[in-house]
Amino acid sequence: PRLYNNGVTRRDVAVRSIGYKSSGAVEDCRVPSNQQTMEPRQFIVVWSVFVSILSSGCVFGWPAMKEILEEDGVYRGHDATERKARFAQIFTAGFFTLIGGRVAMGYILDTRGPRACSCAGLALVILGSVLFSFSDEHSFNAFAPGLALMGFGGSGVHIANFHISNLFPERK
């Protein structure tokens, strides 16, 4: 338990503030001190890193994605110069929105908070992933808009995680 300057724990303060008299039964339900449990703020850090890895790096994984698209035969009917230009266009759309989307997502972060910013970003990443997965070069060529939405949403998820440092004021 976190101790305040005078050696009193947060639990002691909460118990005193509501006038609760302990009979000792509460202490029997505690986790033994030799077992480690994850605090909520530690869970938030682990979860944020997990979500950020899955969503914010979609654009930076483009070289591997391009290789998969080439193996699947996307733009195979075009000459080498045209294929290269189309793949460059997809990456440019994704990278531009990854960097440029921080301005719009920063506004959402400042006005609505990190939870709304992260949720909006995740929704855009999901929408972009769906567009990208159903794209093909002939009937529904949405590779560039899909990667653009993934980049835009990923930037929102990433900047929303900056507030996590506020969970650890003792380490500032």
User: Could you give the 3-state DSSP secondary structure of residue 49?
Assistant: helix
pLDDT of residue 170: 80
- Concatenating the DSSP letter of every residue in 87-141 gives HHHHHHHHHHHHHHHHHHHHHHHHHH-HHHHHHHHHHHHHHHHHHHHT-BTTTB-
The string of pLDDT tens digits covering residues 131-171 is 999 999 888 999 999 999 999 999 999 999 888 888 888 87
The Cα–Cα gap between 97 and 128 comes to 12
Higher pLDDT pick, 121 / 14: 121
pLDDT of residue 96: 95
State how far Cα 155 lies from the chain centre. Answer: 8
The string of pLDDT tens digits covering residues 3-62 is 555 555 655 555 454 444 555 544 445 555 555 667 888 888 899 989 988 887 788 889
pLDDT of residue 17: 46
pLDDT of residue 168: 82
Q: DSSP letter at 30?
A: S
Single out the residue of 37, 33, 159 nearest to residue 108, CA to CA: 159
Read off the tokens for 67. 């290789």
pLDDT at 89 over 60: yes
pLDDT of residue 10: 56
Contact status, residue 94 vs residue 56, Cβ threshold 8 Å: no
- Counted residue by residue, the chain has a size of 172
